[in-house]
Amino acid sequence: MKRTKDKVKIKKTKKRQRLESSEGIDVSLQDLERALKIDKHALDEGLECQADLFYMVARECALFVSRQDSASQQQKEVEAAVDQGIRRQLDPNEKVTEANIEARRRTHPDSGVPG
């Protein structure tokens, strides 16, 4: 016996249409917080929007973490290159502590760390 599902048209609210049309556009956290307000007389509509809002926040979080990881990795690579440059310029007979190299790295213009 073959089962068929009846196609049910979901009535889209203005809030849901606005969220769908904003796909690909940066949405601020304040916009999402305002969209979370649920009308207690329209709980079904609020339930439908909740999943979309969760997805949008989760996606923005994932993008932020990805950008943060990338920036952190780039900073580590620059710091390593600066550290190597400092060590190459040192006189082999000069005694230098790790703290001294760290201080030189922090004050180096390419390190990006304020001195």
One digit per residue, the tens of pLDDT, for the chain of length 115 reads 444 343 333 344 555 545 544 455 566 777 777 777 777 887 887 777 888 888 888 888 899 999 999 999 999 999 999 999 998 988 888 888 899 988 888 888 877 655 4
Phi-psi region of 25 (alpha: psi -120 to 50; beta: other; left: phi over 0): beta
Total structural domains within the chain: 1
The residue range of the domain holding 49 is 14-107
Q: Is residue 26 part of a domain?
A: yes
Q: How far apart are CA 34 and CA 37, in angstroms?
A: 6
Q: Is residue 71 part of a domain?
A: yes
* pTM score above 0.75: no
Q: Is residue 80 part of a domain?
A: yes
Helical residues (DSSP H) of the chain, grouped into ranges: 14-21, 29-35, 43-89, 98-107
Tokens of 68: 């943060």
Q: Which residue, chain included where needed, has tokens 């760390």?
A: 113
